[in-house]
Amino acid sequence: NDRRNSRAQYALRVPGDRVQQATQRISIVYPEAFSNHSGRLNLEAIEIRRGRGTNGQMIAIDDIQEQEVVFQSRPATRLDIYMTEAIPSDTTFTVVMDNVRNPNRALMQQFWLGLQYTGDPIVAYVGAWELLIAYDDD
């Protein structure tokens, strides 16, 4: 969890009781401050794993798209992760982001989660993860 670390790993767990229907797309929005301080996500090192941790069975990803958006009246970045097959309802899964480059300074960030259920045209807000990034434990 060091500053400027380019080998950080984020494991963002989604409890099964939050997955109300089969899910075809995961949307994660993170604030512009993460990127402004040289933080970067490696899109090629993002996986979806079944279960509570990083060792669960992999769920196949079809595509990952990244775009700049305005979220809660502020600039942000949205990742849209499309699965090859829908994640069944009530399935706990973890979004594993490897080879993340932590920002140059310590930040408390919120990464927001939305799910697009199969057959639904909109992304439903599910919750947020609060991350203390690049903080020292001392």
For residues 85 and 82, give the distance between their C-alpha atoms in angstroms, rounded to a whole number.
9
What are the pLDDT digits (tens) for 13-36? 999 999 999 999 999 999 999 999
pTM of the model: 0.90
| pLDDT, tens digit (0-9, with 9 covering 90-100), for 86-122 | 999 999 999 999 999 998 888 898 999 999 999 999 9
